[in-house]
Amino acid sequence: MIDGHVHAFPSLATAVTRAARRTFGEGAARAVEEKVLPALRAAGAHASRALAPLMPHEPLLGIEQVAALQKKTGAAHAWIERTSSLVLSPPAMIGGTVDGLLASMDRHGITTSILIGARGVASNEWLLGEAVARGGDRVVPVATLPELSPGTSPQAWHDAYEKLAAAGARGFKIHSNWDGIGASHPAVRAIFEVANAHGLFVILHTGCFHVLGYKTTRPVDVSTFEPFFVAYPRVNVCLAHMNRESPEDAWFQMKRFEQVYADTSWQTSESIARAVDAVGSERIMLGSDWPLLHMDLQGDAVARADRALRGAALDDVLERSAKRFLGDRPRPATTTEASARP
């Protein structure tokens, strides 16, 4: 099985060392590694044991329950979601390491996970270095928005994504809510240009989420990205979370563009079954969003797919669709395609 949407975070020791290097220089980082980290690792092990009740393998709240809560509470759901993210984030950050991800994958028979970075939390440098080193070929790294200033030129954005591709990124994430960018931002054009040139894919965050740290909580308008779907038909795009509360909008795009996929994260069993009825199973991928709700979110994702589907459709969602998404590499742009760029 392949999980098309996961996250992982640096260990506490990695975060402290990185902070020391950034603030005080390489000498301070070496001192931290030699003198502080042994005690920190021991403290981290103690913290992990202490936080174990908050990181159960049996879910405190599954996706089905969250969806029911969203319908029942209406506008109050935004407040509940922000509050829960404040409570759940610390355990996820501590337990949601690459080693934790690999252990979760082993429990559920998942061979490969598409591992998405998180700007400011799980940096591209960490993702393409330590995370890939620990995860090996079991993780497929997806880079996020580079740390460049708002006034950066289009060429500089393009060069930054070229460097990420050269460093081993297999795809790029566009997260309008987290990064505060929309389809008109020069980084988006650079993403599609570089992905097209190197046979990479794009993950596009969709749906309405109320999470602390988001620059905007407005639902992502997928239609604003249509010019890129038209101009770059050989760049596979996954609509992450299948547009959450309005999956019909994701299905509309999937019907129009054969390179557009969606993952099942944050979708109920009912909506997964409806999605297959609407667009077929060949471009719907398993997705968990591990570990952002609970530490057994991958098991929850597999169970929801298993309740919704049988036979070939289930095989597609659990593995074959992701293989198509990852393996059907687009070729570089032709002259005609390049002239059609938005």
Give the domain extent around 34: 16-54
Is the same domain home to 250 and 297? yes
Count, residues in the chain: 342
**Residue whose entry in the numeric block shows the structure tokens 């070939």:** 312
Closest by alpha carbon to 31, among 16, 43, 44?
16
Q: What pTM did the predictor assign?
A: 0.81
Residue-level pLDDT, tens digit, the chain, 342 residues: 999 999 999 876 566 566 656 666 777 657 755 666 566 555 554 554 454 444 444 455 677 877 777 777 766 666 666 666 655 566 676 778 999 999 999 999 999 999 999 888 889 999 999 999 999 999 999 999 998 887 899 999 999 999 999 999 999 999 887 788 889 999 999 999 999 999 999 999 998 766 666 667 677 899 999 999 999 999 999 999 999 889 999 999 999 999 999 999 999 999 999 999 999 999 999 999 998 878 889 999 999 999 999 999 999 999 999 999 998 543 334 333 444 445
Is the same domain home to 50 and 73? no
Is the same domain home to 241 and 101? yes
Give yes or no for a contact between 243 and 275, defined as CB atoms under 8 angstroms apart: no
Burial class (CB in 10 A: 0-12, 13-18, 19+), 95: buried
Is the same domain home to 131 and 273? yes
- Encoding tokens for residue 287? 């997705």
Query: Domains in the chain: how many in total?
Result: 2
Does the bond joining 227 to the residue before it have cis omega, within 30 degrees of 0? Answer: no
The CATH number linked to 113 is: 3.20.20.140
In 51-104 the beta strands, taken as DSSP E runs, fall at none
Is the same domain home to 31 and 102? no
- Encoding tokens for residue 58? 């049996």
